[in-house]
């Protein structure tokens, strides 16, 4: 198999057969101080162009991505002893794509996006609840537009590595790297 996305599709299918939960991934960024930072986000779409997640674009991760627009993703699927690592450059998605996804979200999530100053200090939970109520009132009976501080990012894979656990513990690692022509090159790594 020369295309890592065919394998990724197969593995996603296996996870979806196990559970209806959304697919999450660990997103690692480079901190403003050059140190790594990691957190989970939801995978909201992927194709050959990259892996998309949505977030507050004033959050810590967004500030870090503005300074160093590269990220690493890690998908961990213990039931199948699978791990996928993805690395590559990151870009903001288009306003049209972000608008369309925001419009598809449940109303309470849309309000939550308005109410949360993600990653800033919150004096108390009450403050967040009040802000949520304020926006609920503001948008009562109206369509909720996408907040200017909320959008999505796309991580374009330069490399994808698949790890497969085996009973004899001679585990398997398959690394796909995109060459300069954009073609995927495949090799095995010692586990
Ligand atoms: C399973 C899971 C999924 C999450 N999905 C998202 C997400 O899609 N977008 C997001 O902004 N935060 C998501 N979060 C919260 C982030 O892990 C993180 O706390 C938040 O984005 C702030 O990160 P930052 O301060 O590094 O920007 C998720 C958390 C968990 C546990």
Average pLDDT, the chain: 97
Structure-block tokens of residue 147: 């907040």
Residue 184 alpha carbon to ligand 1 centre in Å: 30
- Determine the Cα–Cα distance for residues 122 and 86; give it in Å rounded to an integer: 33
Q: pLDDT digits over 156-166, tens only?
A: 999 999 999 99
For the chain, give every domain's residue range.
Answer: 4-106+149-189
Residue 167 alpha carbon to ligand 1 centre in Å: 33
Q: pLDDT digits over 19-69, tens only?
A: 999 999 999 999 989 999 999 999 999 999 999 999 999 999 999 999 999
What are the helix (H) ranges across 44-171? 60-67, 95-104, 107-115, 125-138
Average pLDDT (169-181) is 96
Determine if ligand 1 sits within 6 Å of the CB of residue 42.
yes
Determine if ligand 1 sits within 6 Å of the CB of residue 40.
yes
Q: pLDDT digits over 82-112, tens only?
A: 999 999 999 999 999 999 999 999 999 999 9
Domain 4-106+149-189 CATH (choose: 3.40.50.720, 3.30.1370.60, 2.30.110.10, 2.30.130.40): 2.30.110.10
Q: Please give the pLDDT value at position 32.
A: 84
Residue 118 alpha carbon to ligand 1 centre in Å: 9
Answer yes or no: are the C-beta atoms of 57 and 63 closer than 8 Å: no
Q: What number of other Cβ atoms are within 10 A of residue 64's Cβ?
A: 23
Our CA dihedral for 84, 89, 94, 97, rounded to 10 degrees, sits at 0
Which DSSP state fits 145?
P
């Amino acid at each position: 198999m020369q295309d890592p996305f065919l394998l990724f599709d197969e593995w996603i299918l296996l996870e979806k057969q196990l559970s209806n939960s959304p697919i999450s991934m660990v997103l690692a960024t480079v901190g403003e101080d050059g140190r790594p930072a990691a957190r989970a986000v939801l995978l909201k779409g992927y194709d050959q162009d990259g892996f998309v997640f949505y977030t507050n674009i004033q959050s810590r991760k967004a500030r870090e991505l503005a300074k160093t627009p590269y990220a690493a993703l890690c998908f961990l699927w213990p039931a199948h002893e699978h791990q996928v690592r993805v690395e590559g450059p990151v870009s903001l998605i288009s306003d049209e794509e972000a608008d369309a996804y925001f419009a598809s979200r449940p109303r309470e999530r849309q309000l939550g996006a308005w109410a949360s100053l993600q990653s800033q200090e919150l004096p108390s939970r009450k403050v967040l609840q009040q802000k949520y109520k304020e926006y609920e009132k503001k948008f009562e009976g109206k369509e909720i537009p996408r907040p200017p501080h909320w959008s999505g990012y796309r991580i374009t894979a330069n490399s994808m590595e698949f790890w497969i656990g085996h009973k004899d513990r001679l585990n398997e690692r398959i690394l796909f790297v995109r060459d300069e022509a954009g073609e995927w090159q495949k090799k095995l790594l010692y586990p």
